[in-house]
């Protein structure tokens, strides 16, 4: 073996470090990789500048009428969204009372934000929610405290979407825990009922449940008794969401090591003590990320009430699209509403990922 | 050995001591009786209301209406249908339309989703970012919104048939949907189809034979090569036997619409594009997590054993990744099928849309909805059974 003779250290090749190295490593490593990069760049060049041109550079932001907007704009006509934003956001709610649904949206967003902070994960949170939901009811309906009464046929837009999803989740969640416990129960009759319910609901599309709620449910009620359409849709969403949430909760119950069940039994705890004090706190913690994903799914699925004619965010947009004074601005409208849905869903999914990372302790090695 | 005093066995209790509130099994039976009683009571209450309502509203019951004349037209149908056909046939048309969009959707979404999922893991920074952006955007928007968007793009933004876009020769994009050329081979077309079927059967048979041979002698056969040869060769043979025709039926503009070729209606195209784009985003995530679930050590161990890259992928990585992928993939396939019911919102005549029309005409809501549910439950059950069989086939064999 010979001793090293060179006294000066050689620098690494210029192409393997620095930004040049990064580009070579990440964009042009091998012929296939280079081809992919070139194809992607070509695709991006073909679409992105054209879209920016349409959406920003050549767009018109305000115009008095549709024809003015059409003529002035070589691209998007956002004046349509500005003109219709009250209708899109609040549906047919009386115009001069729009501060009420606005406040409802603020309350919902504040409560959702609050619920995301672990500092507030106490029994008090449930109480805050009850207060908030009561306030929502008072604001939307009115009739007390000097607020004029607004019947719920006139509710619409973003508040309705939030109401359907938040009430849907709030009522479906306890129901889903019962269903999941029932499915894991030792009592054959109860287990069978829960399995049939869960599989039946999960096997059919939400639309068929909404149809059922809108055309079939009135036939099952005694003559004279009739809920309004909103409540019927809400019930359908609750029943639907409960079946899906139940499967997620069951996943948590199954993932919990058997020792926890046996230890609780050995301590002499009764069934509900065992479930409430030992099993559920751990099982639910295990499934928080998939639960949030299911919440996102339910939030997206509330848009299906369009089909039975409720004016949620999507349907009030459709209502504003058919205005003969502003025809043919679908793309602008859909993009604007997409941004609202996307902002809420993206926030929730990022939150669930962050939570997953933070909760990844305990049973995982 | 103890005699007489030995084994006591389970304690024998009298009937009186069994009817004890402190006995868990007694309580369990009591609870179940109570719950079943409540359920039965509720059902009886609802059904008695139903009977009273049906009588007072003069609504007929039973599935007799399926034999009556439907009297409404259906815009697209895979089988012969006219307004003079029966409701039963109309519903069957709807079922076929649902299956058509679901099957094509499942196949294409799987392909697109797998490509995106794999590319998202690519070392290429640019393409993995583009794929992430695709997944994050499409996953976080309601499907119905996307369907409306695609439908609006096709019916409003695209030009009329006279000024149809012509991106590739023979393919036309317009408000009338997508028109594209199809081969007009006549008899040769049937021969090609037979060739495809024979090729598939041959490939499967060869795979089984090769497996048996390997078990017996340890010798491997070039399964992939032979299978590819059979699957592509047999249809080629069919085409040659049919006289090697090259005629194509190309769409041509006649008046206000296209003649010749094949077409996808705007409704079908919007529904298919929407379903594929949306579900592919979910499938991409499933594929990605499946590949990530196979630890690096597995690949390294396989390479250390002297397997080639291809063998490592085929024999070590894929079988393990599939175990993670198949169960969530099943639920995505079920989702595509169920989500195809959103067709009713953009006017594609699927089974929900047709049953809904039938409900509006006959007033028989219960039968109509029962029909919808039965159809979806059987499709779901079919997919579940198949995927469970496949899952069992690839699952880890444990003690």
Q: Do residue B369 and residue A328 have CB atoms under 8 angstroms apart?
A: no
Confirm or reject contact between A303 and chain B (CB < 8 A): yes
- B135: nearest Cα among B151, B150, B113: B113
Q: Is pLDDT of A148 > 50?
A: yes
Q: Are residues B191 and B48 located together in one domain of the fold?
A: no
Instruction: Indicate the pLDDT class of residue A178, thresholds 50, 70 and 90.
Output: very high
For residue A10, being part of any structural domain is answered with no
DSSP secondary structure string, B16-68? HHHS-TT-HHHHHHHHHHHHHHHHHHHHHHHHHHHHHHHHHHT---SGGGGGS
Q: Do residue A345 and residue B46 have CB atoms under 8 angstroms apart?
A: no
Q: Do residue A205 and residue B339 have CB atoms under 8 angstroms apart?
A: yes
Residue with more model confidence, B34 or A95: B34
Q: How many domains does chain A have?
A: 1
Chain B's closest residue to A312, CA to CA, is B145
State which of B246, B264, B281 marks the end of a domain: B246
Q: Is pLDDT of B182 > 80?
A: no
- B350: nearest Cα among A339, A272, A307: A307
Chain B's closest residue to A190, CA to CA, is B32
Q: Do residue B152 and residue A29 have CB atoms under 8 angstroms apart?
A: no
From residue B181, alpha-carbon distances to B105, B236, B242, B268 in Å are: 21, 20, 20, 17
% of chain B exceeding 90 in pLDDT: 22
Q: Is pLDDT of B110 > 70?
A: yes
Instruction: Indicate the pLDDT class of residue B384, thresholds 50, 70 and 90.
Output: confident
Given a contact cutoff of 8 angstroms between Cβ atoms, the answer to whether A88 and A333 are in contact is yes
Choose among A189, A216, A349: nearest Cβ to B366: A216
Chain A's closest residue to B334, CA to CA, is A203
Q: Do residue A345 and residue B52 have CB atoms under 8 angstroms apart?
A: no
For residue B116, being part of any structural domain is answered with yes
Average pLDDT, chain B: 83
For residue B41, being part of any structural domain is answered with yes
Quick: pLDDT tens for A261-288. Answer: 899 989 988 888 989 888 888 888 888 8
Give the whole-angstrom CA distance, residue B180 versus residue B250: 7
Instruction: Indicate the pLDDT class of residue A86, thresholds 50, 70 and 90.
Output: confident
Range of the domain at B33: 24-53
Q: Collapsing DSSP states into helix, strand and coil, what is residue B248?
A: strand
Choose among A26, A211, A314: nearest Cβ to B145: A314
Quick: pLDDT tens for B268-289. Answer: 989 999 999 999 999 999 998 8
Question: In the prediction, which pLDDT does A6 show?
Answer: 56
Shortest alpha-carbon distance between residue B119 and chain A (Å):
10
Question: In the prediction, which pLDDT does B315 show?
Answer: 84
Hey, which residues 221-260 in chain A have their CB within 8 Å of chain B? Answer: 221-223
Q: Chain A residues with CB inside 8 Å of B32's CB?
A: 187-190
Residue with more model confidence, A145 or A232: A232
DSSP lists the bridge partners of residue B165 as B173
For residue B40, being part of any structural domain is answered with yes
Quick: pLDDT tens for B82-99. Answer: 777 788 888 888 899 999
- The complex's ipTM? 0.86
pTM here? 0.84
Quick: pLDDT tens for A29-43. Answer: 777 788 888 888 898
Lowest average pLDDT, out of B11-15, B134-138, B375-379, goes to: B11-15
Q: Are residues B239 and B276 located together in one domain of the fold?
A: no
Question: In the prediction, which pLDDT does A5 show?
Answer: 59
Q: Do residue B372 and residue A208 have CB atoms under 8 angstroms apart?
A: yes
Give the whole-angstrom CA distance, residue A198 versus residue A241: 10
Q: Do residue B124 and residue A337 have CB atoms under 8 angstroms apart?
A: no
Confirm or reject contact between A57 and chain B (CB < 8 A): no
Q: Are residues B133 and B190 located together in one domain of the fold?
A: no
Question: In the prediction, which pLDDT does B9 show?
Answer: 58
Shortest alpha-carbon distance between residue A211 and chain B (Å):
8
Q: How many domains does chain B have?
A: 3
For residue B110, being part of any structural domain is answered with yes
Given a contact cutoff of 8 angstroms between Cβ atoms, the answer to whether B113 and B279 are in contact is yes
For residue B231 the two structure tokens come to 């699957």
Q: Is pLDDT of A70 > 80?
A: no
Question: In the prediction, which pLDDT does A292 show?
Answer: 87
Q: Which of A27, A44, A205 to mutate to test the interface with B (most CBs of B within 10 A)?
A: A205
Angle at alpha carbon of residue B298, lines to A25 and A24, rounded to 5°: 5
Quick: pLDDT tens for B339-365. Answer: 999 988 888 888 998 888 888 888 788
Q: Is pLDDT of A365 > 50?
A: no
Chain B's closest residue to A308, CA to CA, is B345
| Highest mean pLDDT out of A292-306, A318-332, B170-184 | A292-306
Residue contacts between A and B (CB atoms, under 8 Å): 156
Range of the domain at A128: 72-359
For residue A204, being part of any structural domain is answered with yes
| Highest mean pLDDT out of A139-153, A210-224, B31-45 | B31-45
Q: Are residues B48 and B92 located together in one domain of the fold?
A: no
Q: Are residues B191 and B339 located together in one domain of the fold?
A: no
For residue A98, being part of any structural domain is answered with yes
Chain A's closest residue to B346, CA to CA, is A307
For residue A52, being part of any structural domain is answered with no
For residue B221, being part of any structural domain is answered with yes
Question: In the prediction, which pLDDT does B393 show?
Answer: 77
Strands B252-254 and B257-259 turn out to be: antiparallel
Instruction: Indicate the pLDDT class of residue A364, thresholds 50, 70 and 90.
Output: very low
Lowest average pLDDT, out of A68-82, A192-206, B185-199, goes to: A68-82
For residue B264, being part of any structural domain is answered with no
Instruction: Indicate the pLDDT class of residue A343, thresholds 50, 70 and 90.
Output: very high
Angle at alpha carbon of residue B46, lines to B45 and B50, rounded to 5°: 120
């Amino acid at each position: 073996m010979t001793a090293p003779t060179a006294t000066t250290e050689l620098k690494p090749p210029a192409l393997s470090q620095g930004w040049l190295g990064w580009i070579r490593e990440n964009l042009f490593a091998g012929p296939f990789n280079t081809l992919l990069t070139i194809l992607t760049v070509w695709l991006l060049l073909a679409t992105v500048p054209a879209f920016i041109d349409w959406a920003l550079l050549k767009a018109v932001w305000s115009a008095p009428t549709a024809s003015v907007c059409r003529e002035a704009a070589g691209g998007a006509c956002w004046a349509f969204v500005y003109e219709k934003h009250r209708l899109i956001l609040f549906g047919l709610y009386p115009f001069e009372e729009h501060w009420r649904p606005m406040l409802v949206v603020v309350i919902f967003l504040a409560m959702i934000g609050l619920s995301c902070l672990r500092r507030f994960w106490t029994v008090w949170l449930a109480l805050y929610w009850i207060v908030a939901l009561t306030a929502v009811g008072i604001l939307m309906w009115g009739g007390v405290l000097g607020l004029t009464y607004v019947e719920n046929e006139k509710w619409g837009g973003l508040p309705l979407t939030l109401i359907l999803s938040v009430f849907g989740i709030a009522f479906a969640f306890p129901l889903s825990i019962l269903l999941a416990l029932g499915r894991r129960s030792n009592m054959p009759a109860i287990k069978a009922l829960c399995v049939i319910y869960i599989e039946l609901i999960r096997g059919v599309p939400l639309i068929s449940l909404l149809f059922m709620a809108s055309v079939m449910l009135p036939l099952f009620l005694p003559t004279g008794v009739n809920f309004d359409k909103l409540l019927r849709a809400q019930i359908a969403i609750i029943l639907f969401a409960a079946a899906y949430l139940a499967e997620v909760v069951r996943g948590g119950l199954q993932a919990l090591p058997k020792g926890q069940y046996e230890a609780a039994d050995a301590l002499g705890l009764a069934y509900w003590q065992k479930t409430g004090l030992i099993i559920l706190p751990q099982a639910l913690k295990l499934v928080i990320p998939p639960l949030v994903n299911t919440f996102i799914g339910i939030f997206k699925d509330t848009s299906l009430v369009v089909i039975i004619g409720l004016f949620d965010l999507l349907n009030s947009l459709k209502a504003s699209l058919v205005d003969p004074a502003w025809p043919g601005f679908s793309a602008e409208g859909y993009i604007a509403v997409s941004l609202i849905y996307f902002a809420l869903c993206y926030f929730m999914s990022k939150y669930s990922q962050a939570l997953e990372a933070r909760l990844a302790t305990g049973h995982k090695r | 050995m103890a005699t007489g005093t030995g084994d006591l066995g389970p304690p024998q209790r009298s009937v009186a001591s069994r009817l004890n509130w402190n006995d868990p099994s007694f309580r369990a039976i009591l609870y179940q009786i109570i719950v079943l009683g409540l359920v039965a009571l509720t059902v009886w209450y609802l059904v008695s209301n139903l009977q009273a309502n049906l009588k007072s509203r003069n609504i007929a019951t039973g599935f007799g209406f399926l034999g009556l004349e439907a009297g409404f037209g259906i815009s697209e149908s895979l089988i012969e249908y006219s307004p003079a056909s029966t409701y039963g046939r109309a519903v069957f048309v709807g079922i076929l339309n649902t299956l058509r969009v679901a099957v094509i959707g499942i196949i294409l979404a799987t392909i697109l989703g797998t490509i995106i999922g794999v590319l998202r893991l690519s070392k290429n920074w640019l393409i993995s970012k583009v794929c992430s952006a695709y997944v994050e955007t499409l996953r976080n928007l309601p499907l119905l919104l996307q369907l409306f968007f695609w439908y609006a793009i096709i019916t409003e933004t695209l030009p009329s048939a006279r000024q149809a876009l012509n991106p590739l020769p023979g393919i036309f994009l317009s408000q009338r949907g997508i028109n594209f050329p199809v081969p007009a081979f006549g008899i040769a077309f049937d021969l090609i189809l037979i060739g495809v079927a024979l090729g598939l059967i041959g490939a499967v048979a060869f795979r089984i034979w090769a497996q048996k041979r390997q078990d017996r002698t340890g010798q491997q056969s070039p399964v992939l090569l032979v299978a590819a040869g059979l699957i592509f060769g047999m249809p080629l043979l069919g085409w040659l036997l049919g006289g090697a025709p090259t005629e194509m039926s190309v769409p041509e503009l006649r008046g206000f619409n296209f003649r010749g070729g094949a077409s996808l209606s705007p409704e079908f195209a919007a529904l298919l594009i929407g379903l594929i784009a949306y579900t592919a985003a979910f499938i991409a995530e499933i594929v990605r997590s499946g590949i990530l679930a196979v630890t690096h050590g597995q690949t390294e161990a396989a390479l250390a054993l002297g397997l080639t890259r291809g063998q490592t992928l085929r024999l070590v990585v894929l079988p393990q990744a599939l175990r993670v992928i198949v169960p969530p993939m099943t639920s995505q396939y079920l989702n595509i099928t169920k989500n195809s019911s959103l067709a009713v919102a953009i006017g594609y005549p699927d089974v929900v849309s047709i049953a809904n029309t039938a409900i509006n005409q006959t007033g028989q809501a219960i039968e109509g909805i029962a029909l919808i549910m039965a159809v979806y439950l059987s499709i779901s059950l079919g997919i579940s059974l198949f995927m469970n069989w496949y899952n069992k086939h690839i699952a880890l064999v444990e003690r």
